[in-house]
Amino acid sequence: MKTVTVLVFVYRPFPTVFIPSLRWENQEKMMWCQSGALSELSILVCFFTNFAHPCTLFSPLIPPSLLFIANYVFATLKFTMKVPYVYFNYLLTYILLYFKLARSGDSTARIWTIPYGPCGSDMQPYSPGVHVLKHFKGRTNEKSKDVTTLDWNGEGTLLATGSYDGQARIWSRDGDLKQTLFKHKGPIFSLKWNKKGDFLLSGSVDKTAIVWDTKTWECKQQFEFHSAPTLDVDWRNNNSFATCSTDNMIYVCKIGEQRPIKAFSGHQSEVNAIKWDPTGSFLASCSDDWTAKIWSMKQDKCIFDFKEHTKEIYTIRWSPTGPGTNNPNQQLLLASASFDSTIKLWEVEQGRLLYSLSGHRQPVYSVAFSPDGEYLASGSLDQCLHIWSVKEGRVLKTYRGTGGIFEVCWNIEGTKIAACFSNNTVCVMDFRM
């Protein structure tokens, strides 16, 4: 089967941390493959978030506005900021771009048909064929339906979008609206299909998470455990998942259970991201409290508390190594990226710092392991994309762009890296050693 590269762009706001992202997907494995190298393809896009936290470094870069969500704890979110949120879908012959124009979002997602071709060929990223996924009728209620998040299912046949009106919508890859899901009472910030594709998980500002049955499109179960907005969700397996929130808590939930099967407390500030390791044995979390923590279902307290960072930790990534991966003989590592301009590589078995990577001069917003686990890509506001040797802890290659880098990602073969920049461009580059 011939596979085709697809770019998917979406704007996604977070209350305090904004994680733009890219993803390559594979039909057999709905896996996150981080890291890569860039090509000649450059696509102009323009995305703006509705929110930015005053303490983030993006705040002074853009004109202020006063956007508030009534009845929620976002009174301090007073700025608009540019954040492209980028996905790569490895199966489809489409490119989806979500345009959220500052102060005038059009509440749409767009699927663009693009030809297949290697980097450096005369690809035409924009073709006349475009499917506009409108989330409104007319223009009277347009702003309340701005798109905040999206996710393809594992087969690349269905696209789920979440919006400010609290509704999730299911679209075909031809742009047909298949289903609208009503239940949330606030903006949806996160949507994720499980690997099997029979459930869709959504997390919302209304403090809840909902599991949707994709056969009937009915609410399978609503989980109301958090006391503040839900920021991130991540499936552990096909039936259980974790959620994190601005209430500093992490809950592990299971379909059919009325209470959390595990509650993790220990962070002293908002939990920005959570990620299960490849086997679902360990859960990593990072927070504005400058720490990353490793949790186990076997105990209530964290098994490791990493405190080497000196500012907020923006994101975390597991290496594709160790048990349950294609690289079982390599040790499992965790990478954490911080506003302190460094990346920390942690050896999880012993809970020790392996390397502190300090080649960047400004906050690091993305890290991504190559599929073989040998390389780590990092992107920063300093406009540099570094490729690091995981074994040696040193920079092997550096690519400099013309804007801050929000996200980097490898393709499934580890031969290409994509990066999105603050100057509204996305580049795909070939990687060779």
pLDDT in tens, 206-260: 999 999 999 999 999 999 999 999 989 999 999 999 999 999 999 999 999 999 9
DSSP H or E segment with residue 374 = none
Q: How far apart are CA 335 and CA 202, in angstroms?
A: 26
Range with the poorest average pLDDT among 64-68, 83-87, 170-174, 276-280: 64-68
Span 369-376, average pLDDT: 96
Q: How far apart are CA 326 and CA 330, in angstroms?
A: 10
Residue 273 is predicted with a pLDDT of 92
Cα first-last separation, the chain? 28
Cα–Cα separations (whole angstroms), residue 369 to 33, 85, 335, 374, 378: 7, 18, 9, 7, 9
Span 46-55, average pLDDT: 28
Span 66-70, average pLDDT: 27
Class for the domain spanning 6-430: mainly beta
pLDDT in tens, 16-45: 333 333 333 332 222 222 222 222 222 222
User: Could you tell me if 354 and 393 are in contact, meaning their C-beta atoms sit under 8 angstroms apart?
Assistant: yes
Of 48, 24, 20, 19, the residue nearest 34 (C-alpha) = 24
Mention every residue, 6+ apart, whose C-beta is less than 8 A from residue 175.
111, 131, 132, 133
Q: How far apart are CA 428 and CA 418, in angstroms?
A: 4
Q: Is the pTM of this model over 0.85?
A: no
Report residue 139's pLDDT band, with 50, 70 and 90 as the boundaries.
low
According to DSSP, the β-strands at 313-318 and 333-338 are: antiparallel
